[in-house]
């Protein structure tokens, strides 16, 4: 038995590697590859996976670890920092999507309970996938990225409540009959765990953290203990794992816990999605083709429109509303977990699980391309999106300058731009700073600098700026397409302006020079060049190198004071 399970898992993992590799080439999230692997090894295709308790247990562990990791990043203190727009947009999108989704389900002939499950599943977007895509694009610090992350957190908090409610309702009972005792038991348990996390855990984790191995073991033990406790109190294991993560999110060591548990989570969650794909039923799926298409279109188009309407009413620009809206154009892994839970408690059939899973595959794949190429899609739709934008001053414009002509425009201030800005001040030229981080703009405005919130990849923003009389344009942005767009916009009206940009690749640097860049800064090579220059200038004179050290330490302290840190790179 043990050997057969091992061989079965080995074959499944090998197939998953191949399918996931194809997904990487297509620039798709690997979760799609895992579900497709499950379909391939299911009884409907190669019949490699047979229902076993071992596979089901591995899948359950995967769900628990995934939700525990999500909980680690849901520090309750973040709620007050989410902001008005994230709270209103997150709650509003959940309400409107679930209501519209419910009536679509009823229109398509589904029962009330099935329509309710599907409607709720359609409301949630994938925090993990969206964070990965925004991180790859470098948009996590943009205004729309912060808003999107904010309403995704709001969605995750709503999920906690829904998972606890659904897992406490036995099969065949109506939602309205949910006992008050269950609600009180859940609230009491949450309060108790919150008090433990605030008053007890900080001391415990401080002692445990001295051993990284023991910290990992304690975290896994806490996750499984709380998940099991919730199960025996008639809640779901999923809700318990999520709450266990949240209680540890208040610990100063939650980053270390998360980094150590990530490989473990990644392995077991692969088995969950493979198991999910293997459970899909295709015998009667043909009758669900129309519902699948309607629900997919609703998620890909309807969800973004809901967010755009809400943000437009709150006074945001159509561009930020559009970009934030695209982040909800897919359903979440929570949606699949929710439907799987409905199957487990007897509320739903495997056909409904198959329906929602296919909707998930379509929307995750579609939204991935929409988000990755949003900056190229937006210019083609911009003229039609004006109906989502209120007239007058926008709350996200962050304009801290007077209209007029500038000698220099700097795109991107943080890190590299800091030193460039100091040079601008010394030569006493009139300059404007453009940055996509609203916090950076606020800090610069307080220091009295002319600055403007905006993204250099936004052609509408570039059209607003007067490049005809500019003397110099400096970009600290690393994206090739953005720099090429910027160079082309400047050269259209100004052939003599100095244009400096940044690149990390030699081939890209040559393309930028060919497009009209005056100078391409390459930070990776600049460091070695700087050291060689010091060696040539100082030889082996220790005192001169120590003077360089003193000057560098002072420079780093100044950087630290203004909040600069070395950028982190994902491996």
CATH of residue 168: 1.20.1530.20
- Residue 403 has what pLDDT? 64
Considering the domain architecture, whether residues 377 and 406 belong to the same structural domain is answered as: no
Higher-confidence position of 316 and 138: 316
Strand partners, 453: 435
| Domain end call among 388, 415, 437 | 388
Considering the domain architecture, whether residues 18 and 163 belong to the same structural domain is answered as: yes
- 560 CB neighbour count, 10 Å cutoff: 10
Q: Are 273 and 38 in contact (CB under 8 A)?
A: yes
Residue 397 binned pLDDT confidence (cut-offs 50, 70, 90) = low
Q: Are 322 and 386 in contact (CB under 8 A)?
A: no
Pairing state between β 451-453 and 399-400: antiparallel
- Residue 405 has what pLDDT? 78
Residue 564 lies in a domain: no
Strand partners, 409: 432, 473
Domain range for residue 405? 399-521
DSSP state of 42: S
Residue 362 lies in a domain: yes
Kindly tell me the burial class for residue 281, based on how many C-beta atoms sit within 10 Å of its own C-beta (0-12, 13-18, 19 or more).
Answer: middle
Most confident segment among 6-10, 252-256, 356-360: 356-360
Q: What is the tens place of the pLDDT at every residue in 188-226? A: 777 777 777 767 777 777 777 777 788 888 888 888 988
In terms of Cα–Cα distance, which of 364, 244, 360 is closest to 295?
A: 360
**CATH code for the domain in which residue 436 is found:** 3.40.50.720
Residue 550 lies in a domain: no
Please state, in angstroms and rounded to a whole number, the distance separating the CA atoms of residues 433 and 435. Answer: 7
Residue 155 lies in a domain: yes
Considering the domain architecture, whether residues 86 and 196 belong to the same structural domain is answered as: yes
The average pLDDT across 440-451 equals 82
In the chain, the number of structural domains is 2
Please state, in angstroms and rounded to a whole number, the distance separating the CA atoms of residues 502 and 508. Answer: 10
Pairing state between β 431-435 and 451-453: parallel
Strand partners, 499: 473
Q: Are 290 and 359 in contact (CB under 8 A)?
A: no
Residue 528 lies in a domain: no
Least confident of 73-82, 314-323, 358-367: 73-82
The average pLDDT across 40-55 equals 69
- Residue 296 has what pLDDT? 93
Kindly tell me the burial class for residue 56, based on how many C-beta atoms sit within 10 Å of its own C-beta (0-12, 13-18, 19 or more).
Answer: middle
The average pLDDT across 26-47 equals 78
In terms of Cα–Cα distance, which of 51, 127, 59 is closest to 265?
A: 59
Considering the domain architecture, whether residues 384 and 482 belong to the same structural domain is answered as: no
pLDDT of residue 565 exceeding 50: yes
- Residue 46 has what pLDDT? 73
Please state, in angstroms and rounded to a whole number, the distance separating the CA atoms of residues 77 and 197. Answer: 13
The average pLDDT across 47-61 equals 71
In terms of Cα–Cα distance, which of 208, 290, 311, 293 is closest to 252?
A: 208
Tokens of 401: 């300058």
- Residue 395 has what pLDDT? 64
Considering the domain architecture, whether residues 34 and 142 belong to the same structural domain is answered as: yes
Strand partners, 93: none
Considering the domain architecture, whether residues 93 and 136 belong to the same structural domain is answered as: yes
Please state, in angstroms and rounded to a whole number, the distance separating the CA atoms of residues 247 and 72. Answer: 8
CB crowding 344-371: b at 16 or more within 10 Å, else e? ebebbebbbbbbbbbbbbbbbbbbbebb
- Residue 559 has what pLDDT? 64
Considering the domain architecture, whether residues 348 and 406 belong to the same structural domain is answered as: no
Considering the domain architecture, whether residues 441 and 340 belong to the same structural domain is answered as: no
Helices (H), ranges, 252-332 = 254-278, 289-297, 303-313, 318-326
Please state, in angstroms and rounded to a whole number, the distance separating the CA atoms of residues 62 and 65. Answer: 5
Most confident segment among 52-66, 129-143, 490-504, 527-541: 490-504
Please state, in angstroms and rounded to a whole number, the distance separating the CA atoms of residues 24 and 82. Answer: 32
What percentage of residues in the chain have a pLDDT greater than 90? 9
In terms of Cα–Cα distance, which of 368, 365, 381, 393 is closest to 322?
A: 381
pLDDT of residue 113 exceeding 80: yes
Please state, in angstroms and rounded to a whole number, the distance separating the CA atoms of residues 450 and 441. Answer: 9
Considering the domain architecture, whether residues 237 and 374 belong to the same structural domain is answered as: yes
Higher-confidence position of 107 and 46: 107
Considering the domain architecture, whether residues 112 and 40 belong to the same structural domain is answered as: yes
The three-class DSSP label of residue 500 is strand
């Amino acid at each position: 038995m043990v050997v057969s399970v091992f061989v079965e898992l080995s074959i499944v993992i090998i197939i998953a590697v191949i399918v996931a590799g194809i997904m990487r080439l297509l620039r798709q999230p690997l979760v799609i590859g895992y579900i497709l692997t499950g379909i391939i090894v299911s009884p409907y295709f190669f019949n490699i996976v047979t229902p076993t308790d071992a596979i089901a247990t591995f899948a359950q562990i995967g769900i628990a670890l995934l939700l525990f990791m999500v909980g680690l990043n849901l520090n309750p203190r973040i709620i007050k920092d989410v902001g008005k727009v994230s709270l209103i947009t997150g709650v509003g999108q959940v309400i409107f999507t679930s209501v519209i989704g419910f009536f679509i389900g009823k229109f398509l002939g589904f029962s009330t309970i099935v329509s309710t499950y599907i409607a709720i599943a359609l409301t949630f977007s994938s925090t993990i996938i969206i964070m990965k895509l925004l991180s790859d694009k470098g948009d996590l610090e943009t205004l729309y990225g912060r808003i999107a992350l904010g309403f995704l957190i709001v969605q995750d908090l709503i999920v906690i409540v829904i998972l606890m409610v659904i897992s406490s309702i036995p099969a065949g009972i109506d939602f309205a009959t949910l006992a008050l005792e269950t609600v009180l038991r859940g609230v009491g348990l949450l309060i108790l765990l919150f008090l433990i996390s605030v008053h007890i855990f900080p001391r415990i984790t401080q002692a445990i953290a001295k051993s990284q191995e023991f910290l990992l073991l304690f975290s896994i033990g806490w996750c499984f203990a709380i998940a099991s406790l919730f199960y025996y109190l008639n809640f779901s294991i999923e809700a318990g794992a999520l709450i266990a993560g949240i209680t540890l999110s208040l610990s100063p060591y939650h980053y270390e816990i998360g980094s150590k548990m990530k490989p473990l989570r990644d392995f077991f969650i692969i088995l969950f999605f493979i198991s999910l794909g293997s459970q899909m039923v295709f015998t009667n799926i043909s009758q669900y083709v129309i519902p699948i298409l309607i629900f997919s279109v609703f998620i890909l188009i309807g969800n973004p429109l809901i967010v755009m309407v809400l943000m437009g009413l709150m006074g945001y620009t159509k561009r930020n509303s559009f970009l934030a809206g695209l982040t909800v154009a897919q359903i979440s892994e929570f949606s699949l977990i929710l439907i799987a839970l409905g199957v487990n408690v007897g509320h739903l059939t495997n056909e409904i699980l198959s329906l929602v899973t296919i909707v998930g595959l379509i929307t995750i794949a579609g939204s991935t391309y929409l988000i990755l190429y949003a900056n190229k899609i937006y210019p083609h739709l911009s003229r039609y999106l004006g109906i989502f934008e209120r007239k007058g001053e926008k709350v996200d414009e962050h304009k801290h300058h007077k209209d007029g002509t500038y000698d220099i425009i700097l795109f991107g201030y943080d890190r590299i731009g800091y030193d460039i800005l100091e040079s601008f001040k010394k030569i006493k030229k009139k300059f404007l700073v453009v940055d996509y981080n609203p916090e950076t703009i606020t800090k610069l405005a307080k220091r009295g600098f002319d600055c403007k919130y905006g993204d250099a990849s936004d052609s509408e923003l570039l059209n607003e700026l007067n490049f005809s009389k500019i003397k110099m344009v400096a970009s600290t942005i690393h994206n090739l397409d953005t720099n090429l767009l910027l160079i082309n916009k400047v050269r259209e009206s100004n052939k003599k302006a100095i244009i400096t940009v940044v690149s990390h690749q030699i081939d890209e640097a040559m393309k930028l020079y060919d497009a009209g860049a005056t100078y391409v800064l390459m930070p990776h090579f600049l460091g070695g060049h700087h050291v060689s220059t010091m060696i040539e200038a100082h030889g082996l004179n220790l005192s001169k190198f120590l003077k360089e050290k003193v000057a560098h330490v002072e420079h780093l302290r100044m950087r630290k004071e203004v909040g600069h840190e070395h950028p982190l790179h994902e491996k």
